[in-house]
Amino acid sequence: MDLLLAAQLFLLGGCIGFLAGLLGIGGGMLMVPFLTIILGNRGVPSDLAFKMAIATSMATILFTSISSVRAHHRREAVRWDIVRGMAPGIIAGGLFAGAGIFAFIRGNTLELLFVGFLTFSATQILLDRKPKPSRTLPTLLGQSAAGSGIGLLSGLVGAGGAFASAPFLTWCNVPIHQVVATASALGFPIALANTAGYLLGSWNQPPALPGAFGLLYLPALTVIATASMAVAPWGALVAHTLNVRQLKRVFALLLYGLAAYMLARTLSN
């Protein structure tokens, strides 16, 4: 790996790790566009580059979520009862997405789905709708069903815990700091199930680049995971001292920009 590539990946990993701790996100929604560009610049066909970016970014969430959730757990902010209730559904949905649907959908179709999800996520953040005060978490069966949908959607767009699980937890009137911490914890089963699915679906695929295994680009996974794990605790520390809602609005504007870029890129191919 050349020094320029290593520096790009390390910087990307550091930014993703900080945001993972700060906002409870796995970082996939930011990581995927940049990894797609990096892989494309190295000669990987556009369709395959996007799929590899999704799979690799999801695998990094395995490490980012561990580092982030440890910091939140020390502050007793993780709702482990919710994690236990949603994890079985998340694993089932993630495996179905990664090993089944993902292998049969064309990269351009996935990119359009990704753009739609970016736009939807940014809009939800900006609207910041308040749930009815009487609304609470569903039963364990309802939590598992919600987890199935979250695991499936996350696997198709490469998103970690917060983009799908945080709106659900907020809708159920879970306090905001518990939402951030619990979304970080949910990122691990999401990433585990989907990464396993991607590997099952692409284990016999010829490597697109040296260091690639199926859809995973291992050099990027190693550097990004190392950087993100080192920086994630700083983000978690800051999350308990700043107004996270204001930061999320800025983050929403960034998502709109990325959505516009990815749409233009998809339509030009």
Domain count for the chain:
1
pLDDT at residue 136 in the model: 81
Q: Residue 182 above 80 pLDDT?
A: yes
Per-residue pLDDT, 80: 93
Sole residue written with tokens 């236990």: 84
pLDDT for residue 23? 66
What pLDDT, on a 0 to 100 scale, did the predictor assign at position 26? 54
User: What does the alpha-carbon distance between residue 38 and residue 49 come to, in Å, rounded to a whole number?
Assistant: 9
The helix/strand/coil state of 106 is coil
Q: Which pLDDT score is estimated for 131?
A: 65
Q: Strand, coil or helix: what is 216?
A: strand
What was the pLDDT predicted at 263? 84
Q: Which of 74, 99, 95, 102 is nearest to 185 (CA)?
A: 74
Of residues 82, 155, 166, the one with CA closest to residue 121: 166
125 CB contacts (<8 Å, ≥6 apart)? 248, 249, 251, 252, 255
Average pLDDT over residues 58-73: 77
Q: Three-state SS for 206?
A: coil
As a whole number, mean pLDDT of residues 81-89 equals 91
Between the CA of residue 56 and those of 87, 102, 126, 156, 199, what are the distances in Å?
21, 14, 28, 13, 11
Beta strands in the chain (DSSP E): 212-213, 216-217
Predicted pLDDT of residue 222: 92
Average pLDDT, the chain: 81
Per residue in 94-138, pLDDT (tens digit) is 888 877 777 777 767 878 888 887 788 778 777 776 667 777 888
Beta bridge partners of 217: 212
Residue 221 has pLDDT above 70, yes or no: yes
CB neighbours of 148 closer than 8 A, spacing ≥ 6? 89, 90, 92, 93
Across 58-62, 99-103, 142-146, least confident range: 99-103
Range of the domain at 103: 3-268
Question: Average pLDDT for residues 218-246, to the nearest whole number?
Answer: 79
> What one-character DSSP code corresponds to residue 99?
I
Instruction: Tell me the per-residue pLDDT of 197-220, one tens digit each, with 9 for 90 and over.
Output: 888 888 888 888 888 998 899 999
For residue 125, give the nearest of 263, 251, 235, 257 by alpha carbon.
251
